[in-house]
Structure 1
Amino acid sequence: MAKESKKTKAAGNPYFTVPGMTPSQGAEVAALLQNRLTALTDLHLTLKHVHWNVVGPNFISVHEMLDPQVDAVREMADTVAERIATLGASPVGTPGAIVADRDWSDYSIGRAGAIEHLGALDLVYTGVITDHRSAIAATEELDPITQDMLIGQSAALEQFHWFVRAHLESTGGHLSTEGAVTEVQATERAGAKRRSA
């Protein structure tokens, strides 16, 4: 089952939902989507943060690669919020609710080299995609319309993740960040690999 927010749920118990679902089913899907809304909002802000703080020889290519990702992820968040509203609930997108809803830490890297930031983003994308896939599984029978939306978003997120990983991958297919479990570890490993190249 996909992660459901422990703190913030899509506001309100819906009195109505889409045809073919009960209000309680609509509320269940809306709660699941609230977690995805929080994750996508956090992701597009994190991508913009990286866009502003990336430096070094690969600055311009990474800086310009990220803006289309920011725009696409922001659009995904909007689509999720509108689906929550369609289901009869109220999407919550205030900064305080987003912070309260997260069960992950804030992005921890400030000004850093392009490869170092990409190492950290590898882990960020891994988390978002993994949770999106869990939400896909959770909506398979409950709401195939929401599932279809999440599948389309996952395809785009996985492509963006590939763009990030291509910078970290050797010709043999190994990632410079292999085995890293924190953003700081990923940053250090990516940077060490870049310096030894």
Structure 2
Amino acid sequence: MTETNGIKTTVAALSQDSSEKAIEIMQERLTALIDLQLTLKHIHWNVVGMNFIAIHEMLDPQVDAVRLMTDAVAERIATMGGQPKGTPGSVTSIRTWDDYPLDRAPSVKHLVELDKVYSGVTADHRAAIAEFGDIDPVTEDLFIGHLAELELFQWFVRAHLKNTEGDVMHRSTD
């Protein structure tokens, strides 16, 4: 076991530099997943209007799944010798995106915003996966599994936003 910058590498097959880089990327993704699970629950509490119950009930399994993802990422960080940061202060200081913009609002408005959230999270996960490919295949595999689930959840959201031609509507109505 070696130590640099407070990180004690515990995965024998990885170099110190690889461990540090993977932990840095994972911390950013952990922050995004914590933010996502809180956003999903916020929407669950504040969605109203048409299809309320469908949206309300669709979101709880997503919250639960994302919560499991956060745990897996945090444990991978710890496995690699890092210290996962999951406090509210660390989330707000690490994140680089704006807070979710809606409170109580009609379902279609929440779905349009949630589609944007999922687009950002999945794009950033894809970028992280590309970096993990050069660092650590185990971490890469973990994130590939998460990405598959996140893309499925976005598909659920987009299914509610399809027009008669099958295209996703990107503008909400009042």
Tell me the TM-score range normalised by the shorter chain: over 0.9
Q: How many percent of aligned residue pairs carry the same amino acid?
A: 54
Q: Does 1:20 align with 2:2?
A: no
Q: How many residues are paired up?
A: 170
Q: Does 1:52 align with 2:57?
A: no
Mapping of 1:1-197 within 5 angstroms?
13-177=6-170, 189-191=171-173
Corresponding position of 1:3 = none
Report the secondary structure of 2:10's partner residue: coil
Report the secondary structure of 1:191's partner residue: coil
Report the secondary structure of 1:15's partner residue: strand
Stretches of structure 2 that go unaligned for 5 or more consecutive residues are none
The one-letter code of the counterpart of 1:190 is: S
* CA drift at 1:13: 2.6
Stretches of structure 1 that go unaligned for 5 or more consecutive residues are 1-11, 178-188, 193-197
The one-letter code of the counterpart of 1:153 is: H
Please report the TM-score for the alignment, with normalisation by the length of structure 2.
0.95
What root-mean-square deviation, in Å, do the aligned CA atoms of Structure 1 and Structure 2 show? 1.0
Please report the TM-score for the alignment, with normalisation by the length of structure 1.
0.84
4+ runs deviating over 2 angstroms? none
Distance 1:61 1:168 in 2: 13
Distance 1:190 1:168 in 2: 9
* CA drift at 1:87: 0.5
Confirm or deny: 8 A CA contact 1:13 1:27 kept in the other structure.
no
Confirm or deny: 8 A CA contact 1:30 1:89 kept in the other structure.
yes
